[in-house]
Copies of this chain bind each other. A is one copy, B any other.
């Protein structure tokens, strides 16, 4: 049985020889503190993953930059061919000519094609035909990326800033709570909590999958308090606050749900370090019944009050 348990720790995929010290395995935002070295750019780089994961500001900036650069390149090509192969050119200075070539390129790549300026002869026409095709493909790509970006799991679950050690029935429990702030329904929500703790007199860490009062709910319309009862089989049974800090404990959370809006399975990760746990506190009640339904005061998600431990 103990052997069974030991196997389960490792289910986390973080390895058994995890480092000691004041190390945080999982950042608050769910990313891992892992750096891969000695790996070729080609192997590591996933073009679409990067384009889909970057922030919206970066993404839009990149599109604008790309649009600008591509037009710059094509303007150079049109100028290189000779501006006599474009109709309707009025500029005289080379700067003016370049600008007119630039705007002709923009009208071509977007398939706008006013026609005030148009290509003459096979070479300029071939470039323009290629550019408009490139524009359509680039735009097809942008369409796919935009869809890929916004249909990505948004699962913006909000975690209470602190976890607490509270009285629970006639023992104590480790608790934190989560809220679904958005309007989209999360269904069949599952949670796992794994404790990582430094082994005594050693640099190694042990991982413990914690037993929860409840690890799955069918609906998640507002709030859920996740409870790990600290009974005799708990790895933190009898541990003091000071000891938990010394052992550099980290509670690693993974939630999994079905997001009805996008018909997709979404994941959310977070973690609580020992210093983010309030002892002998309990969460205040934040659900109120009103005439037309339930009201949840999200602003009090992290509010606690003293509660004597058992």
A67 interface contact, C-beta 8 A: yes
A residues contacting the other copy or chain, number (CB 8 A): 122
Chain B proximity of A207: nearest CB distance (Å)? 10
Given A111-B111, A137-B63, A217-B13, A38 and B152 contact (CB-CB distance below 8 Å): no
A293 interface contact, C-beta 8 A: yes
Binds B, one of A49-57, A230-238, A274-282: A49-57
- Residues of chain A from 23 to 44 with CB closer than 8 A to chain B in the complex: 23, 32-39, 43-44
Question: Are A254's CB and B219's CB within 8 A?
Answer: yes
Instruction: State which of B47, B263, B287, B297 has its C-beta within 8 Å of the C-beta of A38.
Output: B297
Chain B proximity of A167: nearest CB distance (Å)? 17
Residues of B within 8 A of A260 (CB): 153, 267
A306 interface contact, C-beta 8 A: no
Closest to A45 in B: B182
A170 interface contact, C-beta 8 A: no
Question: Are A112's CB and B106's CB within 8 A?
Answer: no
Question: Are B296's CB and A35's CB within 8 A?
Answer: yes
Mark A141-158 against chain B: 1 for CB-CB distance below 8 A, else 0: 111101110111110101
* Copies of chain A in the complex: 4
- Residues of chain A from 251 to 310 with CB closer than 8 A to chain B in the complex: 254, 256, 258, 260-267, 285, 287, 289-290, 292-300
Given A38-B297, A106-B132, A133-B110, A218 and B151 contact (CB-CB distance below 8 Å): no
Which residues of A does B touch, CB under 8 Å? 7, 10-15, 17-21, 23, 32-39, 43-50, 52-53, 63-64, 67, 71, 87, 99, 103, 106-108, 110-116, 118-119, 122, 125-126, 128-129, 132-133, 135-137, 139-144, 146-148, 150-154, 156, 158, 179, 181-185, 187-189, 192, 194, 213-214, 216-224, 254, 256, 258, 260-267, 285, 287, 289-290, 292-300
Given contacts A67-B133, A148-B262, 8 further A-B contacts (CB under 8 A): A15-B287, A17-B285, A34-B296, A52-B261, A106-B129, A115-B116, A137-B146, A263-B264
